[in-house]
């Protein structure tokens, strides 16, 4: 009956929508940002379009930045601390999750100066196992929920999914938006669902997965970013990692522009998580450059930027050792996942 | 609305990532490239070419005398009569393809030389100048055996000897723009690079040797204005192609007026970048930045006037100034540098003078928040707001990193303001509404109009101006016309 209580609390939120006088006041109050779907639509349309050619040219230019020496060493450590070490397979086992948690806390056992990663990201049924291993360590437990990855379930099922993950000890919930509703123009439904999930999260942080590969256009990605932020997302996240097109540099650029503009209006910092297909240190550093030059260094922190990845961590560790010793190590010297 | 969070854009530090200057392999002095060989440097008066980012001398180059110009033209004439005009198009294409590939092979060296001599960021010489130079040779190699299908009659003929005078802002690229179509069409050339940036053309001369281009087909002579003047007035030159300032262009036109010589001029500009209220704002800001700060604003088609619709002027300006502060100004050899050095002390003085006028006439000046190196020639990226149509900074070409922001209310007003200039080289139109973009573009008096972008170049696309920005086109099929007897 958990979900019934959550639906009730959502209804309370909806019925208490206020209409403060100025736009900034209204936007600053997270539960009362949008009174109707029409208002949501006009607000997002007012942002104007995104020019695909321009976005891709800008990200390609930023990708030519060259991080060397101390800035490279610092960036690698920062990237490690931003990793959501992820395993989202049907074949996941408690043992695999426990191993992953140990690696998350001590990524490079031979070098205790290596920072721990930000979080471990698992399916809801494995949250308890992760919680048990991580205990009170600073590494958070993140869980995908809301019928991940497709999101094709009723709101009640999604909320129950979230509630169970939170009850099992998840600190962060990675939800998926209803792409069907978004693409058919039912933005209000997408918004309401995020509001409901946010309420179900309680004190857990909410990351909203836009599944940008299914939204396709940058205009859609910007619109979905704003819907999620207005609905109370703590993070907006590119992808599930389960479709053909996952995180790309221009997509991240559009989302970072969105969080930057949102913070200017509301003074709230919404984080960005890029996920899927980021495997090399070189790629990770390109994302950090885009963060730095788009949203600013206030986002260069695990509280505001994350990499959803698995194999990326070992490449970061390899490059970290290379920076310190001048030589590459054999891949087998690092634990697999 | 201002942010309550402090602006930290771009504050994450990037350590210096300098490209190696040793790659340039510069000699201490250079001779002239005449009839397929370099002359001995000691046979000529020498003048120094400096690195504008440091003020240090890079090398000395030869000052070509009238007699040298004579020898170069004679070599070009001989090569034309005995060989190049009789060579088949496919054979000429072979050499052009070779040159293009050799430019690619030596691209890193060329990029370093270009940046050392010109002061432009290595990112631009590496990613734009050198690849585009190679692309021009590849493109015109393709035309060399298809001239009869280019729309200039069944058997278009070359003109003969072409005298080509190029500017200092894109030294290698301008050499490619001039040489590639001329050679494809069957002409021979005498090329004079700019006084302050002769080095990349001399590397190109080495490449021509490597490509085994027949002797005399291309001659490269360095020198000051007197060399250019001798070339322009030489009686055995059939064609003059000049890229540079409107003042010099006017002088050249006077000099060739009483001769048989063909002439094309690519001169100055005061490009208007027109921003409508529905334009994609983040990409607009990037486009404005590229439009005016690309190559330190040393671009004839620079978008040096921003015309922004009044309803979004405040928002666009706020974002623009924030972005200007993010520009990384400094060592051009650093791979992360966005804006490099001003090319010469003379150019710096001109920029300073016009900027002073801007302040005197009452415009509001904003300097980028950056520190400049202590040596060499530098100018902070600058934005003037509250600029009126009558201000000098809205009318005169500054040819530096200085933007003038003006506003408009209706499409008609935007067109009127954009056209209120003696120049007519390039404009940009920013709008999500295609019909409006086309309506505006049809009414702008400019040779090049970009829609939702700026400063995009491609060898297949003709480039050139109207009115005091010159005449003739470079690039594309149109670029052949300047070197064919049509």
| Structure confidence at residue A33 (pLDDT) | 66
Q: Which residues pair with B451 in a beta bridge?
A: B429
**Which residues in chain A belong to E strands, given as ranges?**
83-86, 119-122, 140-144, 172-176, 205-209, 235-237, 271-275, 305-309
Q: Which domains does chain B have, with CATH numbers?
A: 21-267+467-481 (3.40.605.10), 272-451 (3.40.309.10)
DSSP codes joined into one string, B24-82: G---SB---EETTEEPPGGGSEEEEEE-TTT--EEEEEEE--HHHHHHHHHHHHHHHHH
Are β-strands A235-237 and A205-209 bridged in parallel, bridged antiparallel, or unpaired? parallel
pLDDT band for position A20 (50/70/90)?
very low
CATH topology of domain A2-333: TIM Barrel (3.20.20)
Contact: B15, A297; criterion CB under 8 Å: no
Q: Which residues pair with B463 in a beta bridge?
A: B474
| pLDDT per position as a tens digit, A159-177 | 999 999 999 999 999 999 9
Answer for the pair B452, B287: CB distance below 8 angstroms, yes or no: yes
Chain B residues with CB under 8 Å of A53 CB are: 283, 452-453
Contact: A48, B279; criterion CB under 8 Å: yes
Separation between Cα atoms, residue B342 and residue A174, nearest integer Å: 50
| Structure confidence at residue B307 (pLDDT) | 98
Separation between Cα atoms, residue A42 and residue A164, nearest integer Å: 36
Please tell me whether residue A135 adopts helix, strand or coil conformation: coil
Answer for the pair B148, B480: CB distance below 8 angstroms, yes or no: no
3-state secondary structure A291-326: HHHHCCHHHCCCCCEEEEECHHHHHHHHHHHHHHHC
CB neighbourhood size of A36 (10 A): 10
pTM: 0.93
- Residues B10-49 as b or e (16 or more Cβ within 10 Å = b): bebebbebbbeeeebebeeebbbbbbbebbebeebebeeb
Instruction: Please tell me which residue of chain B has the smallest CA distance to A292.
Output: B10
Q: Environment class of residue A38 by beta-carbon count within 10 Å: exposed (0-12), middle (13-18) or buried (19+)?
A: exposed
Strand order, beta sheet including B218-220? B37-38, B33-34, B218-220, B188-192, B161-165, B239-243, B262-266, B470-471
Are β-strands B45-50 and B161-165 bridged in parallel, bridged antiparallel, or unpaired? unpaired
**What residue spans define the domains of chain A?**
2-333
Active-site residue flag, A174: yes
The verdict on A49 touching B (C-beta cutoff 8 Å) is: yes
Cα of first residue to Cα of last residue in chain B, in angstroms, is 60
Contact: A293, B10; criterion CB under 8 Å: yes
- Average pLDDT, consecutive stretches of 10 residues, N- to C-terminus, chain B (486 residues): 44 86 97 98 97 98 98 98 96 98 98 98 98 98 97 96 98 98 98 98 98 98 98 98 96 95 97 97 98 98 98 97 96 97 98 98 97 97 97 97 98 98 98 97 98 97 97 97 95
Contact: A48, B280; criterion CB under 8 Å: yes
- Give CA A160 to chain center in angstroms: 21
**DSSP letter (8 states) at residue B276:** -
Answer for the pair A231, A201: CB distance below 8 angstroms, yes or no: no
Which of B8, B11, B14 is the best mutation test for A, with the most CBs of A within 10 A? B14
| Structure confidence at residue B295 (pLDDT) | 98
């Amino acid at each position: 009956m958990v979900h019934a209580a959550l639906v009730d609390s959502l209804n309370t939120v909806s019925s208490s929508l206020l209409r403060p006088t100025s736009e900034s006041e209204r936007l600053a109050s997270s539960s009362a940002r949008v009174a109707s779907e029409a208002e949501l639509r006009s607000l997002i349309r007012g942002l104007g379009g995104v020019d695909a050619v321009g976005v891709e040219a800008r990200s390609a230019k930023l990708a030519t930045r060259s991080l060397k020496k101390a800035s490279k060493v610092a960036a690698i450590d920062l990237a490690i601390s931003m990793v959501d070490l992820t395993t989202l397979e049907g074949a996941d086992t408690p043992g695999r999750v426990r191993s992953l948690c140990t690696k998350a806390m001590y990524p490079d056992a031979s070098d205790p100066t290596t920072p721990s990663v930000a979080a471990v990201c698992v399916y809801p049924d494995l949250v308890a196992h992760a919680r048990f291993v991580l205990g009170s360590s600073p590494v958070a437990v993140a869980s995908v929920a809301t019928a991940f990855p497709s999101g094709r379930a009723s709101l009640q099922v999604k909320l129950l999914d979230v509630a169970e993950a939170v009850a099992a000890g998840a600190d962060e919930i990675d939800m998926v938006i209803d792409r069907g509703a978004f693409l058919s123009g039912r933005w209000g439904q997408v918004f309401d669902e995020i509001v409901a999930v946010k309420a179900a999260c309680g004190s857990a942080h909410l990351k909203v997965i836009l599944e940008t590969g299914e939204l396709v256009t940058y205009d859609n990605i910007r619109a979905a970013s704003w819907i999620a932020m207005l609905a109370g997302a703590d993070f907006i996240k590119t992808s599930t990692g389960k479709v053909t097109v996952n995180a790309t540099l221009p997509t991240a650029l559009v989302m970072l522009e969105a969080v930057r503009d949102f913070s200017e209006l509301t003074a709230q910092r919404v984080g960005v998580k890029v996920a899927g297909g980021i495997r090399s240190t070189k790629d990770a550093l390109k994302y950090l450059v885009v963060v730095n030059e788009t949203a600013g260094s206030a986002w260069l922190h695990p509280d505001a930027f994350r990499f959803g990845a698995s194999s990326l961590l070992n490449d970061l560790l390899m490059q970290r050792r290379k920076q310190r010793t001048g030589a590459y190590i054999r891949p087998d010297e690092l634990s697999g996942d | 609305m201002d942010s309550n969070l402090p602006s930290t854009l771009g504050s994450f530090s990037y350590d210096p990532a300098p490209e190696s200057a040793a790659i340039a392999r510069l000699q201490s002095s250079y001779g002239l490239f005449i009839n397929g060989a370099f002359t001995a440097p000691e046979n000529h008066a020498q003048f120094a070419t400096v690195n504008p980012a440091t003020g240090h001398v890079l090398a000395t180059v030869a000052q070509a005398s009238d007699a040298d110009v004579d020898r170069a033209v004679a070599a070009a004439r001989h090569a034309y009569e005995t060989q190049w005009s009789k060579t088949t198009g496919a054979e000429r294409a072979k050499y052009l393809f070779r040159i293009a590939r050799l430019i690619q092979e030596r691209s890193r060296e060329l990029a370093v030389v270009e940046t050392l001599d010109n002061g432009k960021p290595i990112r631009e010489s590496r990613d734009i100048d050198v690849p585009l130079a190679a692309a021009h040779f590849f493109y015109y190699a393709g035309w060399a055996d298809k001239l009869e299908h280019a729309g200039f009659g069944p058997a278009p003929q070359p003109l003969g000897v072409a005298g080509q005078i190029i500017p200092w802002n894109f030294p290698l690229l301008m050499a490619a723009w001039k040489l590639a179509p001329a050679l494809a069409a069957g002409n021979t050339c005498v090329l004079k690079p700019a006084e302050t940036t002769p080095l990349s053309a001399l590397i190109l001369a080495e490449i021509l040797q490597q490509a085994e281009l027949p002797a005399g087909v291309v001659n490269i002579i360095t020198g000051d204005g007197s060399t250019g003047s001798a070339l322009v007035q030489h009686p055995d030159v059939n064609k003059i192609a000049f890229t540079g300032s409107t003042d010099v262009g006017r002088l050249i036109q006077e000099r060739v007026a009483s001769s048989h010589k063909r002439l094309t001029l690519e001169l100055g500009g005061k490009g208007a970048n027109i921003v409508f209220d529905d334009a994609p704002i983040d990409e607009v800001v990037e486009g404005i930045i590229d439009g005016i700060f690309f190559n330190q604003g040393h671009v004839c088609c620079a978008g040096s006037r921003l015309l922004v619709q009044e309803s979004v002027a405040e928002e666009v300006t706020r974002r623009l100034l924030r972005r200007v502060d993010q520009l990384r100004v400094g060592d051009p050899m650093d791979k992360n540098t966005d804006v490099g050095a001003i090319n010469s002390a003379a150019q710096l003085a001109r920029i300073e003078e016009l900027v002073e006028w801007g302040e005197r006439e009452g415009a509001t000046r904003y300097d980028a928040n950056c520190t400049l190196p202590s040596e060499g020639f530098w100018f902070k990226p600058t934005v003037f707001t509250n600029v009126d149509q009558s201000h000098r900074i809205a009318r005169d070409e500054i040819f530096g990193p200085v933007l003038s922001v003006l506003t408009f209310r209706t499409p008609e007003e935007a067109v009127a303001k954009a056209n209120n200039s003696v120049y007519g080289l390039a404009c940009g139109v920013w709008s999500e509404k295609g019909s409006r973009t086309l309506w505006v573009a049809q009414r702008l008096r400019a040779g090049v109009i970009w829609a939702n972008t700026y400063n995009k170049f491609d060898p297949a696309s003709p480039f050139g101006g109207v009115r005091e920005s010159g005449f003739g086109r470079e690039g594309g099929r149109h670029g052949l016309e300047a070197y064919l007897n049509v």
